[in-house]
Amino acid sequence: MSLISKYNVAAPRYTSYPTVPYWEEQTFHPEKWKALLKKSFLESNGKDGISIYIHLPFCESMCTYCGCNKHITVNHGVEGPYIETLLKEWQLYVDTFGGRPRIREIHLGGGTPTFFSAAHLAMLLNGIYRTAELLPDASLSFEGHPGNTTPEHLQSLYNLGFRRISLGIQDFDMRVQEIINRLQPFGMVASVVENARKIGFTSINFDLIYGLPLQTLTSMQHTIDKVVRLRPDRISFYSYAHVPWIKGTGQRRYTEADLPKDEEKRQLYELGKLLFDSNGYTEIGMDHFALPEEALHKAFQQGRLHRNFMGYTDSPTSLLVGLGASSIGDSWYAYAQNEKKVDAYQELVNKGEFPVVRGHILNEEDGLLRKHIHELMCHFETTWHKADTQCDAIIDGLQRLQELERDGLVQVLPQKVVVTPEGRPFIRNICMAFDARLWRQVPHSQLFSSAI
């Protein structure tokens, strides 16, 4: 049996530990969340500042591959009320903190942030800035759809301090674009990239997905040839997560017969990795590639790479505020997720209530295991030399690593685990070994996408 077949099991992506399906929601309460928010704010605001993720869930059409929380509409009348609700929610956080937040990082995600007009996005950001201090080296980024990211969007956000844009490309093959309902010709993308660079954006990321329906090695070669012509500073190269039992109608537009099979899917990744490497990109953590001068690459080299619900970042903070429907916040001591449905989210906020509907308070073991999983995901190694980094679950994890060590995927040393170059594609499987909650509470249904 090949390693691909052997380890292609359902696995979390580890943007947090514990992962969302294993949160102890019965012990969570919004008042606990608020108390831990304030604790984290007092500890971290003066040192690193805070991060803010803002979820803007609206899209005009359904991309069938998408696993994000989104609200499909062509009614742009939703923009103003949603922005007003976001600002009210932000004020709830400011009131809880009891001090002026220092912002290290903002990311506008979706949905489609550029569904909103440039004027409405400016209203949102200026409203936040009025009650906070934007640090001089703050990292501000947004996700843009090539089909509706206008020069006005780019100029307005640049004027507000944004220097990073992430474009959802996925694939340049027109057959693939048609089946995933994401039509955006190369010329359209090239125009947005040219405008962004002309205005002054210093970091452009392309999101690409391998394993999409109708993808082939030939089509992937053509897609990446076009990508490197535009030379984005970063590339996110994600494995398509086919979970129609969770995401419903969109992913039922095609069947498993249209998808590349295990070995073929891995070949798509290996081809991409080879082409990125030959064009000067370095693999960073899981699914990410960056040019040597890019901030993410430097953070990886310097051991500063951080991972949270927004993915990888070079701006590590302990406090992440999540604003908007379905957003997840992280106080370092607890996680909390907002109501997913837009109307219900707005109703809670407009009543003056925190819109969190579920969460998890981390215990001591959670904190230790999060440290080790985070270090594996960011640095491909972890250690537990100090007594305060050890727990019984580490011993259990080492037992589970024995098979992966025999397969050459990890090297287990005294009080240290190092992921080998051959093991990097299997990082999710390696992290699973230390996921005590997963092993104690094996679910009755599949909760995660396949690891490979």
Domains delineated in the chain: 20-361 (3.80.30.20), 364-440 (1.10.10.920)
Quote the pLDDT of residue 50: 97
Within 151-282, where are the H helices?
151-159, 174-179, 186-199, 217-230, 244-247, 262-278
* pLDDT over threshold 70, residue 443: no
Is 241 annotated as belonging to a binding site?
A: yes
Give per-residue pLDDT as tens, 38-58: 999 999 998 999 999 999 999
pLDDT bracket for residue 448 (50, 70, 90): low
Comparing 315 with 196, the larger pLDDT belongs to 196
Is 424 annotated as belonging to a binding site?
A: no
Quote the pLDDT of residue 253: 63
Is 110 annotated as belonging to a binding site?
A: yes
Give per-residue pLDDT as tens, 74-105: 999 999 999 999 999 999 999 999 999 999 99
Is 66 annotated as belonging to a binding site?
A: yes
Is 207 annotated as belonging to a binding site?
A: yes
Is 112 annotated as belonging to a binding site?
A: yes
pTM, two decimal places: 0.93
Is 246 annotated as belonging to a binding site?
A: no
Give per-residue pLDDT as tens, 202-246: 999 999 999 999 999 999 999 999 999 999 999 999 989 866 645
Quote the pLDDT of residue 445: 46
CA 262/CA 8 separation, integer angstroms: 8
pLDDT bracket for residue 388 (50, 70, 90): low
Is 235 annotated as belonging to a binding site?
A: no
Is 433 annotated as belonging to a binding site?
A: no
Residue 269 half-sphere exposure, CB side, CA atoms within 13 Å?
23
- Percent of the chain clearing pLDDT 70 (strictly above): 94
Mean pLDDT value across residues 6-21: 89
Is 65 annotated as belonging to a binding site?
A: yes
Quote the pLDDT of residue 444: 44
